Amino acid sequence: MLNHSFEPNCFFHWRFKDRMLEVMINAGQHIKKGEEMTINYMNGQRNNAIMQRYGFSSPLNPWDVIPFSGNARVHLDSFLSVFNISGLPEEYYHNSQLSDKGDTFVDGAVIAAARTLPTWSDGDMPPVPSTERRAVRELQQECQQMLAKFPTTSKEDEQLLDSMTEARRTLEAAIKYRLHRKLLIQKAMQALEIYQERMLF
């Protein structure tokens, strides 16, 4: 049994051999003795799909989505450059070589925010700082409104999980799923705040 990771170090390889299906596990990188081998159970899937299939969710899922509905948008290239995110939207990754050593803010949730935040990009037209800051404030307000719709806060969910000594697995998974939704929204708000502080213009 291999555990799940959004940054797996192994992958499955299938082949037919003597009228049988042979399943092999290949390492995608060097694995040290004693290190856990992980695979990605459902690449490119949101937490709700993983929850339905496997009964868990993650606050670091880079494929999760925040349902923004307003008209505010931030400049795509500027946002990506602040967090050293490279690649096409389906293949975004954090280019850690460009980051300061010890900077651990960018994780799967920030990658998810980069994919899901409403953005604009218009060729050579540069973003206007005052317009970008206004868009950041509007998106943060929308995040606050989403959080306010939940019946509990993140802290209350964490306290609830800590207080449950013998909770049913399904109840615990449901509370964790709700908590992970909130943590993703909160991380997006933090990312917007950092973007506003580090704008490169």
**The predicted structure's pLDDT at residue 80:** 94
Using only C-alpha atoms, what is the Rg of the chain?
20
Percentage of the chain modeled with pLDDT above 90: 64
Residue 96: which pLDDT band, with cuts at 50, 70 and 90?
confident
Place of tokens 């460009």: 98
Nearest to 149 by CA among 181, 175, 173: 181
C-beta atoms surrounding 100 within 10 Å: 7
CA separation for the pair 114, 83 (Å, rounded)? 9
Identify the pLDDT of residue 21: 84
> Over the stretch 42-55, which tens digit does the pLDDT of each residue have?
989 999 999 999 99
Lowest mean pLDDT among 86-100, 127-141, 182-196: 86-100
Q: What is the C-alpha to C-alpha distance for residues 47 and 141, in angstroms, rounded to an integer? A: 24
pLDDT band per the 50, 70, 90 thresholds, residue 1: confident
Residue 109 to residue 112: CA distance in whole angstroms:
5
The count of other CB atoms within 10 Å of the CB of residue 14 is 8
Domain ranges of the chain: 1-40, 45-198
CA distance 9 to 1: 14
Per-residue model confidence as pLDDT tens digits over 134-185: 999 999 999 999 999 999 999 999 999 999 877 688 899 999 999 999 999 9
| Cα 13 to the center of its chain, rounded Å | 26
Residue 200 reports pLDDT greater than 90: no
Render pLDDT for 108-119 as a digit per residue (tens, 0 to 9). 999 999 999 999
Average pLDDT, the chain: 90
Residue 188 amino acid letter: A
For residue 14, the cross-strand partners are 23
pTM above 0.75, yes or no: yes
| pLDDT of 27 strictly over 80 | yes
Bigger pLDDT: 120 vs 101 = 120
